[in-house]
Amino acid sequence: MESIDKIKAHYNFTSGDAENLKQLKSVMEKHKGDFPKEFYNHIKHFEGTSKFLTSEEIITRHQDGLKEWFMNLFSGEYNTQYLRDIERIGYAHVKIKLPAHYVNAAMHFVRLYCLKILEKEFCTDMNECKYLAKSVDKIIDINLDVITSSFIEEEIKTFFLSERVESYLIQFANRFAYGLNLILVMGLVIMGIMVMGLFVYDVTHIFTGDIEKGLLGTLGSLLMMWVVIELVDTEVKHLKGGKFAIRVFISVALVAVIRKLLVSTLKAEAVESHLSLILIAAIAVLGIIYWLIAKTEKAE
Ligand code: HEM
């Protein structure tokens, strides 16, 4: 499945759209109770739905789920968690082997239902109304895309062990990866605190008379702090659904070598001057790689 950022970009879903949908939340809240009833009025005409909605308990659970899903359309927050929630809905329907056609037809109803509310309660200014309607269209299309993708993925899936074992395995691997990512963020925060300690330690050299060592050391620890900020920033973006920036790894290596060079310049021995040359060559190579990656990312 694509990342949420990519999906949003493909539908040209901007922060303006998110704002628009959030703006509609209070109006839609008024129709929250009515929505599942109208939804059921629509789907009851589909022959065969009773095969899936077999008990009052299932219907009540479904209507509660529908209500929550409907309000989430207007939450204004469309992140990785939101994508996971829609995927889960898609798989819930795949699991009961509901034909994808039913979901498409039901989504068509949802679109018309939302637009009707918009027309009735929001459309004093035609341009504003069109803009809001476009945002509603986009979020419904995104939902339809993700839900129907679950059906397609299911169709092309071939199983090595068994469907149940594999889906548990994938779910477990997904959660495990997410847990590891959270540990990584915590580790980076601890790193940040330690680099702050190093910065204070380097600054003390200035006051104890070793100004050169103090200044170069401070410069090195500031560079490290910048890298930690970049790493935390990248990881947080990654957790929110963005793609991982390899460039940051190169910048970590680059800063580590620059820091080593700064420290080695303090020692004027012959062996160290050879080391300095190697370090300068390493910085040049890493710099070129960094530049090439940054250029490719920009082009993308
Ligand atoms: C716009 C289309 C639809 C949306 C947004 C939707 C939403 C949902 C949600 C939120 C759930 C709960 C998922 C979970 O377990 O987390 C669900 C489950 C289910 N849906 Fe739908 N649904 C749609 C169309 C339909 C249609 C047309 C049927 C027709 C029969 C249907 C039948 C079911 C059933 C039987 C379940 C499982 C209920 C249970 O046992 O808990 N859905 N759906």
Looking at this protein, which amino acid is placed at residue 115? L
Is there a single domain that holds both residue 254 and residue 109? no
> What pLDDT is attached to residue 285?
93
Is there a single domain that holds both residue 183 and residue 211? yes
Is there a single domain that holds both residue 126 and residue 194? no
Q: Which residue has the tokens 């109304």?
A: 129
> What pLDDT is attached to residue 160?
62
Nearest atom in ligand 1 to 109's CA: 1
In the chain, the number of structural domains is 2
Residue 65 Cβ < 6 Å to ligand 1 = yes
Is there a domain that residue 52 lies in? yes
Q: pTM higher than 0.75, yes or no? A: no
Type and span of the H or E element at 203? helix 163-207
Residue 107 Cβ < 6 Å to ligand 1 = yes
> What pLDDT is attached to residue 300?
63
Residue 59 Cβ < 6 Å to ligand 1 = no
8 A C-beta contact, residue 63 and residue 149: no
> What pLDDT is attached to residue 298?
75
CA proximity to 177, closest of 228, 238, 250: 238
* Residue having the nearest C-alpha atom to atom 17 of ligand 1: 62
32: domain CATH number is 1.10.490.10
Q: Is 76 left (phi over 0), alpha (psi -120 to 50) or beta?
A: left
Residue 82 lies in domain: 4-157
Nearest atom in ligand 1 to 48's CA: 30
Max intra-chain CA distance, the chain: 88
Is there a single domain that holds both residue 19 and residue 105? yes
* Residue having the nearest C-alpha atom to atom 23 of ligand 1: 103
Is there a single domain that holds both residue 75 and residue 39? yes
Is there a domain that residue 36 lies in? yes
pLDDT tens per residue across all 300 residues of the chain: 678 899 999 999 999 999 999 999 999 999 999 999 999 999 988 888 888 998 999 999 999 999 999 999 999 999 999 999 999 999 899 888 898 899 999 999 999 999 999 988 877 777 778 889 999 999 999 999 999 988 776 655 555 666 677 778 888 888 898 888 889 889 989 989 999 998 999 889 888 888 888 888 888 888 888 888 888 888 888 777 666 677 888 888 888 888 888 877 766 555 567 778 888 999 999 999 999 988 887 776
Question: How many A from CA of 58 to the centre of ligand 1?
Answer: 9
Looking at this protein, which amino acid is placed at residue 43? I
8 A C-beta contact, residue 255 and residue 227: yes
> What pLDDT is attached to residue 241?
67
Residue 69 Cβ < 6 Å to ligand 1 = yes
Q: How far from 214 is each of 191, 225, 227, 272, CA to CA, in Å?
A: 21, 16, 20, 19
Is there a single domain that holds both residue 76 and residue 29? yes
Is there a single domain that holds both residue 15 and residue 128? yes
Residue 144 Cβ < 6 Å to ligand 1 = no
Q: How far apart are CA 243 and CA 230, in angstroms?
A: 14
Is there a domain that residue 143 lies in? yes
| 161 CB-side CA count, 13 A | 7
Residue 109 Cβ < 6 Å to ligand 1 = no
Is there a single domain that holds both residue 152 and residue 19? yes
